[in-house]
Structure 1
């Protein structure tokens, strides 16, 4: 990518995230380090590519809500709790998706499936992408390309460690305060999934209908 020039370089920077986001950021940072193009133009190109490559994944989750297999999935114990955690701790979820390998696409699809606000999704997506790009560019320009590329390995490791500490903190506070769901395993807090047509005969929806009739 660093060997390209002009519009070919900007096009490569923009479209590479649709294939592999980390490679796109590393390539863009390398191009910036080698002065292949002004950094002031490379940065918006890679950021726009990152956001556009992930913006549509939200709608995969929304579309899935229309299908029967999604209805069966939503009936499983803990699924509604997972939705609560994503919506109530949206920033933590998106930060985890950005830095922990293997979580990005599932988290973005889940955001759509659980109907997180799309505007909030895009804003948070942009914020986490900006943070990631800023860290990578800062590393490349301060310690060089070789050490910068190694960040692809140790940044996720650090993210996993931070996530583990946060989960441990949540577990302790949940045990002490008994307030709110700690994990999707808190089955006693399951509840009907909202706005899911065709759910009248599922366990949770049936229970809710019976309660309404009693009232």
Structure 2
């Protein structure tokens, strides 16, 4: 049994219910969604291409909108708080210097994704390039997890269907708890591995107070006012 679900129960789910579950899971927690898809594949719940398609679609959809939070933060006061989060300016520096490497790192390091994806929008990275990179990094991540599950399952046998997902979830939860406790101890608030000490005001911005006031007429101009 895994989170109250027997492997046999997963196997008998309708295809669309399973697809919907995997598609929506990254909106709650991306790593959990990938682990769930890999576990379903190991249990033989559906063909691997079907499961990979479902989780890949969910991963890209769950991250596609985060770009626009960064983009809107240049214009609207209500969205500006997303760019104020610790780590966004640091991720922005990395995005501008090494876009692919930064996006790849964010995919494999929980806690860096949201600041990185918001920074991609704030610093106006090409959206098509952003989406294609999301697809590439998500595909690579899925391939690694699926390969790991099936490789270990081939050695450990049917028992791996139960304990392998449990171990993977346990590691993920332990990491999240560690990050949360570490940041509580340092009174840093937002949970991100990106160094808070390197944060700085965004380029073309008067600071984090007030509305950036970037206009629709000239999207590439600097902010004209603040506080």
Identify the TM-score tier after normalising by the shorter chain: 0.5 to 0.7
Q: Hey, what does 1:115 align to over in structure 2?
A: 124
Partners of 2:45 and 2:151 in 1: CA distance:
17
Q: Which structure has more helix as a fraction of its residues?
A: 1
Query: Of the candidates 89, 103, 106, which is equivalent to residue 94 of structure 1?
Result: 103
1:138-153 alignment runs, 5 A limit: 138-144=147-153, 145=160, 146-147=163-164, 150=167, 153=171
Please tell me the root mean square deviation across aligned C-alpha atoms, in Å: 3.4
Determine the structure 2 residue equivalent to 1:104. Answer: 113
Decide which of 190, 195, 208 is 2:220's aligned counterpart: 195
CA distance in 2, matches of 1:125, 1:15: 17
Please, what TM-score do these two structures have when normalized by structure 2?
0.62
Match of 1:27 in 2: 36
Q: Distance in 2 between matches of 1:121 and 1:63?
A: 16
| 145-154 or 127-136: bigger deviation | 145-154
Q: Which runs of 5+ in 1 are unaligned?
A: 158-183, 203-215
- Find the aligned partners of 2:199 and 2:57 in 1 and give their Cα distance: 38
Note the residue ranges of structure 2 that are not aligned, 5 or more in a row: 154-159, 176-196, 206-218
Q: Relative to structure 1, is the Cα distance of residues 195 and 148 closer, same or farther in structure 2, using a 3 angstrom cutoff? A: same
CA distance in structure 2 between the partners assigned to 1:18 and 1:82 by the alignment: 21
Spell out structure 1 runs of 4+ moving beyond 6 A.
none
Count of aligned residue pairs for this structure pair: 169
Aligned-pair CA distance for 1:84: 4.3
